[in-house]
Amino acid sequence: MRQNVKRTIAFAETVAMIATLTVGITFGNATQVKADITSRTNNIHIDTSIPISSQGETVGYEFTVEKDGYYMLYTQGEDDTYGTLYVKEGTTWKELIHDDDGDDGDSNNFLLTATLYKDKEYKIDVREYDNNNFSTELFATEYTPIINGVNCSSNVYARVGDTVELKTYAEDQYGNYIEDLGDLGITYRWYMEDDETSKIDELGTGSSYTVNNVTEHIFNEVTYKVDWRYGEYNDTLEFYIYDIEYSYKINSDNSGNIYASQGESVSLNIKVENYKKEEVDPDEEGITCTWYKCNDDERKEIGKGKSYTIDSVEQNDLYDEDSNIRYRCIIKKNDKFIDATTFYIYDRVYAYETQSIWIRTMAGQSCILEANVANAETYNEVNPANEGITVKWYKYTGKRYYDSGNDDYYYEYGDPVEVSSDGFILLNNLSEKDFYRNGDTSTYWTYAIYKNGKKIDESDAHISKEDADFSGVTEMKVVYANEGSSATLVPDVYENGTKVSFNKNYICEWSNEKDENLGTKLVYDISNVTATNIYSYQNPVSYYCDVYKVSYDGDGEYRERIGYTRFIIVRGNSQINHPNQPNQSGQPTTLPGQNNVTTPTTNNTVGNAAKDATIKETVKGNVLKAGKESIKISIKKIAKAKGYQVQVSTSKKFKKKVTITKLTKKNSIVIKKLKKKKQYFVRTRSYTIVKKKKKFGKWSKVKAIKTK
């Protein structure tokens, strides 16, 4: 089996095994070597490597295959490569698939799979991920797909009288979608449903179906469906054909939440995109853009065009829960509604938001729950005490019930109980009843922030119990001490759920809140505790240790990291129940004496410490895939991110209790145990780690999807 390959672009070094007529072109300080594309195509054997070396630019190959089949293209090497596969349509190269690091997200080498046809031309572009110099080997081979499912692009666009092909794609073992050549063992049954007549027509079999002579009726009333089956797996896919004439969307850079001060000028802007997501001029497309100012009682037209400017923001322009003032832009064509977007203008004085809190620990431990407040415009973490913000904490207690109709359990919570009006709460000697969704009981906490007596935002906090066979160290440990006394910081280590002795089989790397290195030692001793060592919300001083288990073999010492612990020192006095004294388990207590601690300088506040560390790049291009009671979220990689936070909610503003928050270090995650055929809203953001704390970037645009 041979594959035809011809080189189109390379830099600096000629690729071995490709004999072409070349011409030199000056490109900066390098010489670009370009193949004479009029020369004959050279053959290269399948499974034979092509060495590639490039000075920071893309290397491309045009190629054909001698038979229809399933093909894999991948690199092998130390450099982080990025590959993009194209197919030629007329004179244009259309992207089929791209990849950065194979299937697992940990490899440096890309891996692409696709169905390729002998009568088509293809191109593979290879580059280093960050456009640096690189050297690698490119391989091409046939492979045998293992099918994990079937999917489709549900939205199809056409004009009246067009012919369109509805196509399905099989998901292979690498998570890529390939076209079925009829030999994958998948069966298909096509049919159409007419909403107007309630008629169902059988259409045929095969991996695709062609609709001839599209009509207005099809746009408005017809859904095409295909039932597929592969072994024990089966599902139904739906196709909707939309009229290109009216397939536009509003893409607004600043729709949603806008922050302004009274007297400030604010401009509201929209962009109109066609079905290809290309920006268009509304006037040239015959689209009218109309602006309205709305509240719960009325909607008043205020202008037309792609933008609307408020010259001087007044109180009655600002949104709050009572006024519900909002600005709305509606686009129409031929007086037919197409799309709309809404703007909310918030008073910058109250531009703050809260974040959910998750802590994992063991029974018998103590922990502190801290309000996590950020500036809603900059996303920088701030200290509420320095912003004139009051924080109130509430406790919810729930009991588990069985729902026989859905064969599932659910928790029902009573009214919240206010437990603190500080920025934090201290929970002592946690018991089984204090953990979130632990058997028949469930406990979680919420906190709300207020300024000038006005409620701004609220979020929840959960304490989850580590697994029964947990091995490692707890995330947080509270140590009690007074000024003038000594304190010894010792991590709590667990093996298979049991606390074990901390001895010389372990070692710790210590640091403080400023990420200053405090040395490598077994424990950390503070001989004379001062106010600067003691935690307060104004001065959230902490100590961190990375814990390693030490072993020895013939090659010497080996250290295995088992986790890290954050230590917090609080004053020990009669107001606090020590873990070794009788107390009401989990009783929330505000830390005593916090007002006696000197507030640190501005450079040491939480908000300023995080200011320069936040990733400013917003996650874009999230891909959502609906499953049965689940959603798969694929996230476009951000180079400096350590991971991503994902939120899935039944509320577009993510304020309802049915909001799921997950962290992942991979570029995809599946959210399970959702409701059937329910609409959910999804957003994601990246994070990095600074001083052992997560610093989050901006939220992505919200996308909606309905589960199966």
Q: For residue 681, name the pLDDT band (cuts at 50, 70, 90).
A: confident
**What whole-number distance in Å separates Cα of residue 215 and Cα of residue 205?**
23
**What pLDDT was estimated at residue 288?**
97
Phi, psi (5° rounding) for residue 254? -130, 25
Using DSSP, state whether 507 is helix, strand or coil.
strand
For the segment 646-662, what is each residue's pLDDT rounded down to a tens digit? 888 887 777 655 678 88
> What residues form DSSP beta bridges with 52?
136
**What pLDDT was estimated at residue 1?**
36
**What whole-number distance in Å separates Cα of residue 45 and Cα of residue 34?**
22
**What pLDDT was estimated at residue 615?**
61
Q: Which residue has the higher pLDDT, 359 or 586?
A: 359
Residue with tokens 């791209």: 98
**What pLDDT was estimated at residue 656?**
57
Q: Considering Cα of 172, then 178, then 180, then 183, what sign does the dihedral take?
A: negative
**What whole-number distance in Å separates Cα of residue 102 and Cα of residue 396?**
44
**What whole-number distance in Å separates Cα of residue 103 and Cα of residue 112?**
9
> Which helix (H) or strand (E) element contains residue 566?
strand 556-570
Q: Considering Cα of 654, then 660, then 666, then 668, what sign does the dihedral take?
A: negative
Q: How many CA atoms lie within 13 A of 356 on its CB side?
A: 19
Lowest mean pLDDT among 5-9, 170-174, 546-550: 5-9
**What whole-number distance in Å separates Cα of residue 426 and Cα of residue 570?**
10
Q: For residue 581, name the pLDDT band (cuts at 50, 70, 90).
A: very low
The tokens describing 115, both together, are 């169905």
Phi, psi (5° rounding) for residue 581? -115, 155
User: Is the Cβ–Cβ distance between 563 and 472 less than 8 Å?
Assistant: yes
The tokens describing 565, both together, are 């612990």
For the segment 607-660, what is each residue's pLDDT rounded down to a tens digit? 333 334 456 566 766 778 887 778 888 887 776 787 888 888 887 777 655 678
For the segment 510-521, what is each residue's pLDDT rounded down to a tens digit? 998 888 899 999
User: Which DSSP category does 618 fall into?
Assistant: P
**Beta strand 111-116 with 266-269: parallel, antiparallel or unpaired?**
unpaired
pLDDT at residue 355 greater than cutoff 50: yes
Q: For residue 573, name the pLDDT band (cuts at 50, 70, 90).
A: very low
Architecture of domain 352-465: Sandwich (2.60)
- Round to the nearest angstrom and report the end-to-end CA distance of the chain: 43
**What pLDDT was estimated at residue 377?**
83
From the list 213, 210, 222, 113, the residue with the least C-alpha distance to 167 is 210
Query: Looking at the domain 149-245, which fold is it?
Result: Immunoglobulin-like (2.60.40)
Tell me, letter by letter, the H, E, C secondary structure of 110-152: CEEEEEECCCCCEEEEEEECCCCCEEEEEEEEECCCCCCEEEE
Average pLDDT, the chain: 80
> Which residue ranges does the chain devote to CATH 2.60.40.10?
149-245, 247-349, 352-465, 472-595, 623-706
Average pLDDT over residues 101-124: 81
pLDDT at residue 582 greater than cutoff 80: no
Average pLDDT over residues 500-525: 90
Q: How many CA atoms lie within 13 A of 418 on its CB side?
A: 6
**What whole-number distance in Å separates Cα of residue 9 and Cα of residue 678?**
49
For the segment 477-500, what is each residue's pLDDT rounded down to a tens digit? 999 999 999 999 999 999 998 999
Q: For residue 449, name the pLDDT band (cuts at 50, 70, 90).
A: very high
**What pLDDT was estimated at residue 35?**
30
**What pLDDT was estimated at residue 169?**
96
In CATH, the number for domain 247-349 is 2.60.40.10
Judged on CB neighbours under 10 Å (0-12, 13-18, 19+), 316 is exposed
Q: Considering Cα of 574, then 580, then 585, then 591, what sign does the dihedral take?
A: positive
CATH 2.60.40.10 for the 472-595 domain, yes or no:
yes
The tokens describing 447, both together, are 């906190």
Q: Which residue type is seen at 650?
A: T
**Beta strand 177-178 with 164-171: parallel, antiparallel or unpaired?**
antiparallel
pTM of the model: 0.60
**What whole-number distance in Å separates Cα of residue 44 and Cα of residue 2?**
6
**What pLDDT was estimated at residue 24?**
23
What does 167-217 look like in DSSP terms, one character per residue? EEEEE-TTS-EE---S-S--EEEEEEEETTTTEEEEEE-SSEEEE-S--HH
**What whole-number distance in Å separates Cα of residue 240 and Cα of residue 214?**
12
CATH 3.30.110.30 for the 2-142 domain, yes or no:
no
Q: For residue 540, name the pLDDT band (cuts at 50, 70, 90).
A: confident
Q: Which residue has the higher pLDDT, 567 or 35?
A: 567
**What whole-number distance in Å separates Cα of residue 360 and Cα of residue 158?**
52
**What whole-number distance in Å separates Cα of residue 3 and Cα of residue 141?**
9
User: Is the Cβ–Cβ distance between 375 and 384 less than 8 Å?
Assistant: no
User: Is the Cβ–Cβ distance between 43 and 20 less than 8 Å?
Assistant: no
79 Cβ contact list (under 8 Å, min separation 6): 108, 128, 132, 134, 135, 136
Average pLDDT over residues 259-287: 93
Give percent above pLDDT 90 in the chain.
Answer: 41
Beta strands of 325-453 (E only): which ranges? 326-333, 336-347, 352-354, 357-361, 367-370, 373-375, 381-382, 390-403, 408-413, 417-420, 424-427, 441-451
Query: Looking at the domain 623-706, which fold is it?
Result: Immunoglobulin-like (2.60.40)
Average pLDDT over residues 536-562: 85
For the segment 455-471, what is each residue's pLDDT rounded down to a tens digit? 988 998 989 888 888 99
**What pLDDT was estimated at residue 193?**
94
Using DSSP, state whether 596 is helix, strand or coil.
helix
Phi, psi (5° rounding) for residue 595? -75, -10
Q: For residue 591, name the pLDDT band (cuts at 50, 70, 90).
A: very low
pLDDT at residue 91 greater than cutoff 70: yes
Phi, psi (5° rounding) for residue 282? -55, -40
pLDDT at residue 393 greater than cutoff 90: yes
Q: How many CA atoms lie within 13 A of 217 on its CB side?
A: 8
**What pLDDT was estimated at residue 116?**
94
pLDDT at residue 119 greater than cutoff 60: yes
584 Cβ contact list (under 8 Å, min separation 6): 577
Using DSSP, state whether 531 is helix, strand or coil.
helix
What does 219-230 look like in DSSP terms, one character per residue? HHHEEEEEEEEE
**What pLDDT was estimated at residue 32?**
29
**What pLDDT was estimated at residue 273?**
94
For the segment 291-331, what is each residue's pLDDT rounded down to a tens digit? 999 988 889 999 999 999 999 999 999 988 778 899 999 99
